[in-house]
Chain A
Amino acid sequence: MTVENSATTDVGTTSRRFVRNVLWKALLLFVLLNLFFMSVDIVPWLGKVSAYNSIFPGRVRLPFGEVPERAFNLSPFSLEAMFASHELAAGSKAEDEYRVLVIGDSSVWGFLLRPEDTLTGRINSGGYETRDGRRVRAYNLGYPTTCLLKDVMLLDEAMRYDPDMVVWLVTLEAMPVGKQFASALLQHNPDRARDLIERYDLDLDPQDDRLVDLEWWQRTIWGQRRDVADLVRLQMYGVVWAATGVDQDYPEDYALRKSDLEDDESFIQFMPPQDMDEILAMDVLEAGLSVADGLPVMFVNQPIFVSDGENSDVRYNFNYPRWAYDDYLVWFEKQCTEQAWACVDVWDFVEPAEFTNTAFHMTPKGTALLASYLGDAILELAGSP
């Protein structure tokens, strides 16, 4: 071996040893960091760190976005992060504020509606004042999936923000027992779902397959990288939210809700006749009332599109056959009367022309009409002893 070759070999050996040491140490650090992450469950804590309501204004509705790059919004699963980004989390309640939480599905959230045109936006611009001189301030806690248990979960989290009233928009689609886990947000918060089931003794299976329990490796940084990235992205989108006030994609064109319907009597998997007491999750509604902990709660049977097209004698719309919805209307009225609930039934209050892409989503005009009606109803309920 020549001197030159010997020197080259030495350099090569040193380099290999160096690389080996670096790789070992990197691997060790990676494992330790992942073990730490796994044992501490840091995502909920990270979710509370937010630049909203300080650097950027809080969002007027909960984060939800199907096309993030156009909506400047996304759908994280961390309730802590969602609420930290909401305007509800902006400081303490003013003395002259009458705080109303509005919960429900995408029609409350405001699909295709600009923030100022949503139900809460319209109620707030209505300038309502209670008898004792407090101004009504409505907060949009709607979230685009129809499922009562999801509403209760959100209400449970929102109760820490000192509300004065809860307005809960419901519809038949959200009520069946079998649909109570039909929300990705709920499925990815299994501990919260189970806690509600246990606390209020709900007739739901806490081990339902749809609830997503993380394996041990999914609790590591590697396993939760998407969740952590979502938290960062939610903060980044705060800049564009502040700059544009846009939080959803507004397509120039969309398909209108169906007017001509199938000659089909089925509702989800149900065929007539059905006992509504059997198939609807009454206990979840009662759990919502318990979560509200004595606050006035107004149940609103939300408006639906009523078709006059083909087979409209069989169905009201794409979602509801007439038999199911009529039975539900009777059931809803009966519950309101028997339980002495504050109820507002506005199912046919809005003209069919004011519905957009589904049987529940309304135009700004339709929403304004409903807001005006509910504004008065809120004042009435707030003023009652």
Chain B
Amino acid sequence: MTLLHILAFCAFALVVGLLLPRRWRGWLLMAASVGAIYALQPASTIRHLGFWLPTGTLALTVFSWALTAPPEERDRKQTLATGLTLVVLVLLIGALRYAGPLSRVLEARPPTMPPILLALAVVAGLTALTARFFAKKRWLGGAFFAFVLLLFLILKTDPWGQAVSAWLRAWSGQSVDLASALDIGWLGFSYVAFRLLHTLRDSMQDRLPALSLREYLTYVIFFPAFTAGPIDRAERFVKGLREPKALSAGDVWEAGQRIVVGIFKKFVLADSLALISLNAVNAAQVSSAGWTWVLLYAYGFNIYLDFSGYTDVAIGMAKLMGITLPENFDRPYLKPNLTSFWNSWHMTLAQWFRSYYFNPLTRSLRSGKRLPVPVIIIIGQFSTMCLIGLWHGVTWNFLIWGAWHGIGLFIHNRWYEWARTRPSKPNAPLWLQRVGQVGSVLLTFHFVNLGWVWFALPNPELAIQVFGTLFGM
């Protein structure tokens, strides 16, 4: 999201929040979100892919809704109206191809009308068939769940991404030799996938509230949170969507502050720190330990300010429209231990993995073979963190980064259990307690920052070289 996008979206959000009657908001938010995913999608070197990727997002979302929606929602007139609106919107966006200077709102040039019409017909037909005959079928829900996971895996695995790029290039008559995984930059898919998987899973367990197509679409592609989260839960989001909060002067002030702080964090601080953050280029060239620490700290603050800045903007923007998004960060670098860190860093992602992986896994391990608690904890925490690592990309370094945190969490867990069982000592002096607190914060901060070495660099060899430089070896 560029600064211009943010300013345009904020202006829109302000108009929605202050001027529009509530009954229009649902429609307008959906339409704006559809427009936004096309406007934000970067162009691809593969012809028209920049148009087809957001269209794919819409198709997956509509299909997922058809699988999860209860019959009464599928048969409503509003569903037909939403479907038609969606078709008209996609056609209007496609028509921007012929709109001269107006077409610049899109980075990617749309294809001609016939393939768009054909694609819309196919998606509409498949969705109608599914809604009519296969809705709530567990096997189809499971198969779609697996399909979304597979897509996710392809996008996050470079060789597979490159293979798909080659195939798409061949299909569009372009040079296969130039195929690269970077060709398929599907904006927001990581977050879209998590929202789809959450609703599919909850639907299979009959925990998903009834959502109209319009609500479901808005939830999955809600424009403030589309590119960088937070990953809200459908039932929570839809409450705000149905009953948006009346905007008070205090809300506008709070939202405005949040947006300004977010913009400052992202575009001033994070973007400046990005110039001096540890990366593959400077890591290979830096030779002194002191400066390597500086680059590493810069990376640690850059990633935090960048990500939390976007989150601030998303939360502020949503607030202007009367919708409360969940918090994603809570001063993570000031936490005294790794468990607290993970309760305050990318909180909605951690909660997602807790709900859909860690808790079910540990429940099943407890109910099955009688494994000792430490074994259950190490299996649960280690595998969860490895998966969180792989969510960022299927590479050795992301896996090691996940393992680094998995082991760190396990060690903290054991330490905590051990310390809890020890007899409590008489109260230590206040200064000693403070030193202990500061020491814990510093230790956690440095553990997390050293973990960023794996995250920031492309391969383990370079990361090990940087560790060597950091510690003067």
Contact = CB atoms under 8 A, between A and B. Distances in A.
A12 B282 contact: no
A236 B294 contact: no
B338 interface: no
Interface string B241-263: 00000111101110010000000
A243 B288 contact: yes
A242 interface: yes
A18 interface: yes
A70 interface: yes
B298 interface: yes
A320 B405 CA distance: 62
Contacts of B473: none
A243 B281 contact: no
A236 B272 contact: yes
A246 B298 contact: no
A337 interface: no
A8 B276 CA distance: 50
A15 interface: yes
B292 interface: yes
A239 B253 contact: no
A165 to B, nearest CB: 34
A237 B251 contact: no
A69 interface: yes
Contacts of B276: 236-237, 239-240
Given A16-B18, A72-B282, A236-B275, A243 B291 contact: yes
B297 to A, nearest CB: 10
Chain A CB within 10 A, most for which of B276, B286, B292, B298? B276
Given A18-B253, A240-B275, A244-B285, A11 B246 contact: yes
A342 interface: no
Interface residues of A, number: 25
Given A12-B18, A232-B272, A237-B275, A18 B252 contact: yes
B208 to A, nearest CB: 31
B216 to A, nearest CB: 28
A192 interface: no
A294 to B, nearest CB: 43
Given A16-B18, A237-B275, A244-B285, A11 B247 contact: yes
Interface string A43-77: 00000000000000000000000001110100000
B14 interface: yes
B281 A69 contact: yes
A17 B251 CA distance: 13
A72 B273 CA distance: 13
A233 interface: yes
A8 B252 contact: no
A267 B257 CA distance: 61
A242 B248 contact: no
B295 interface: yes
Contacts of A245: 285
Contacts of B281: 69-70
Nearest to A71: B281
B249 A243 contact: no
Contact of B249 (A15, A68, A237): A15
Contacts of B291: 239, 242-244
Contact of A243 (B246, B248, B256, B295): B295
Contacts of A236: 272-273, 275-276
A19 interface: yes
A309 to B, nearest CB: 31
A22 interface: yes
Nearest to B256: A22
B259 to A, nearest CB: 12
A243 B292 contact: yes
Contact of B282 (A232, A233, A243): A243
B252 A15 contact: yes
Contacts of A274: none
Given A16-B18, A18-B249, A70-B281, A233 B295 contact: no
Nearest to A74: B275
A357 interface: no
A17 to B, nearest CB: 8
A14 interface: yes
Contacts of A246: 282, 285
Nearest to B292: A243
A229 to B, nearest CB: 9
Interface string A227-241: 000001100110110
Contacts of A72: 275, 282
Of A8, A232, A236, the most chain B CB neighbours within 10 A belong to: A236
Contacts of A8: 246
A19 B14 contact: yes
A243 B284 CA distance: 11
B269 to A, nearest CB: 11
Contacts of B249: 14-15, 17-18
A369 to B, nearest CB: 28
B434 to A, nearest CB: 31
A293 B291 CA distance: 42
Given A19-B14, A72-B275, 6 more contacts: A19-B252, A22-B256, A236-B275, A240-B295, A242-B291, A246-B285
11 contacts: A15-B18, A15-B252, A17-B249, A18-B252, A236-B273, A237-B275, A237-B276, A242-B291, A243-B288, A243-B295, A245-B285
What are the 4 tightest A-B residue pairs by CB atom distance, in nearest-first order? Answer: A243-B291, A18-B249, A244-B285, A239-B276
